[in-house]
């Protein structure tokens, strides 16, 4: 169930990145904050540090890159990737 809530939170972050910030649908606000060097990165990291998630924005960005690379690899190989 914990994985479900993580995915739900990520989906909401991606949704609000598009709705409020005119961002890409496959990027979270946290990942974008890190990539763009926004001041919000510091505050987002502070909030998530309460949940033992240090460097949250950087890790979000890294995980989004890993997911994108995996997606591309699976498309090239013709596999589903699940």
pLDDT at 5 over 80: yes
Dihedral, CA of residue 72, residue 69, residue 1 and residue 57, to nearest 10 = -140
- pLDDT tens digit sequence for 56-70: 999 999 999 999 999
Distance separating alpha carbons of residues 78 and 33, to the nearest angstrom? 33
- The pTM for the full model equals 0.85
How much is the pLDDT for 54? 87
Using alpha carbons, select from 36, 52, 55, 35 the residue that is nearest to residue 44: 55
Using alpha carbons, select from 9, 4, 10 the residue that is nearest to residue 64: 10
- pLDDT tens digit sequence for 12-65: 999 999 999 999 999 999 999 999 999 999 999 999 999 877 899 999 999 999
Distance separating alpha carbons of residues 57 and 82, to the nearest angstrom? 25
Distance separating alpha carbons of residues 51 and 65, to the nearest angstrom? 23
pLDDT at 81 over 70: no
pLDDT at 82 over 60: no
| E strand or H helix at 60 | helix 56-77
């Amino acid at each position: 169930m914990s994985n479900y809530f993580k995915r739900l939170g990520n989906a909401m972050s991606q949704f609000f990145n598009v709705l409020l910030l005119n961002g890409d649908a496959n990027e979270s606000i946290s990942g974008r904050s890190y990539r763009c060097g926004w001041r919000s990165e510091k505050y987002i990291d502070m909030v998530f540090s309460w949940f033992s998630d240090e460097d949250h924005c950087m890790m979000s960005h890294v995980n989004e890159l890993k997911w994108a690379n995996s997606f591309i690899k699976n498309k090239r190989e013709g596999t589903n990737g699940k």
